[in-house]
Amino acid sequence: MCGRTACTLAPDEVCRASRYRDRAGQRRQPRWKDGDSDKYRPSYNKSPQSMSPVLLSLRHFDKNAPVDECVLAAMRWGLVPSWFKESDPRKMQYNTNNCRSDTLLEKKSYKDPLLKGQRCVILADGFYEWRRQEKDKQPFFIYFPQVHKQEKTEEPEALLKENTLCSLEEDQEWTGWKVLTIAGLFDCWMPPGGGDPLYTYTIITVDASPNLQCIHDRMPAILDGEEEIRRWLDYGEVKSLEALHLLQSKNTLTYHCVSSLVNNSRNNSPECLQPVDPQIKKEPKPTASSKMMMSWLKGSKSSKRKEPDSEETKEEEHMGAHNLPIKTSPEKKTKPAGSLQQWLQGAGKKPRTN
């Protein structure tokens, strides 16, 4: 299962954080498909029907482009099959937010895009999962372990400063938050009565890795490393049945408990990501992987970037690529919350995490 993610990078940061290698081994930085950077809204708490950044082959939009050249697109979470006959995609009566890797060839909704090579990579800071315990559910945030180049530096502020300077250089490697790269399928649905195409995606799930089985028995299929990402997206070189071998359970993720604040998808603030102790409901001593997140959450208040407030989040939840409204409840205003939020909203002055 995967019912909630977080992606807090600004559009330009998504480009830098999702650099990839082509067949020749050359590092390249993808650009956004025309107009799609405006459809994407960063969020600490993304739910199905929202727009997420997706990496895919440019050949899907430009038949003359090299198949190993990638582009970023904003797609809606929850696959709408191209053959869906209704005039309103909200009338779909089954859930397509996730699909199991072992049944991809059994269901038409997923088999068709798979065999057409419509493979994509969903980008996120991480995803949320809930562990059942007695009458309650404890939420966790799950993500790639974060590694700093100067691990000998123990002061969070010094580490933050170094990462800030490095990650702002467009000609250097991205040194901000290491984004999670999730295997998915996408499809394009055209309204029967005419209108703009709606691009949507589904997250592929596999059996949970040993270290995550204590939380849930399923997890998103993670593509770990540039070569796996390249092979998943290069549908010209890697055919569909061969690509399925990339969908494996990987014991490469880490996690921490978060507040039940994330249970409500209308809550969109850095507190959704902050580590908590489920026993005493207080912030615990940070682990190596959450130290960077903690330092950013506690940063200075000098940013000039605007926080993604309730109006922006509401707009994301109500929009589709074809501008069909989606019913949601009114959202609460979020509070300014330190340098994690500032990295999202500032003029590129702080490194970004969830």
Q: What residues are annotated to the active site?
A: 2, 129
8 Å CB contact between 319 and 39: yes
Instruction: For residues 333 and 299, give the distance between their C-alpha atoms in angstroms, rounded to a whole number.
Output: 21
- How would you label 320-332 residue by residue, b for 16+ Cβ within 10 Å and e otherwise? bbbebebebeebe
**What are the residues facing 45 on neighbouring strands?**
none
| Strand order across the 136-143 sheet | 43-46, 5-7, 126-133, 136-143, 254-257
Instruction: Say which DSSP state 155 is in.
Output: -
Helix/strand/coil for 99 = strand
Q: Token pair of 71, please?
A: 């582009």
- Structure-derived torsion over alpha carbons of residues 179, 181, 182, 188, reported in degrees to the nearest 10: 100
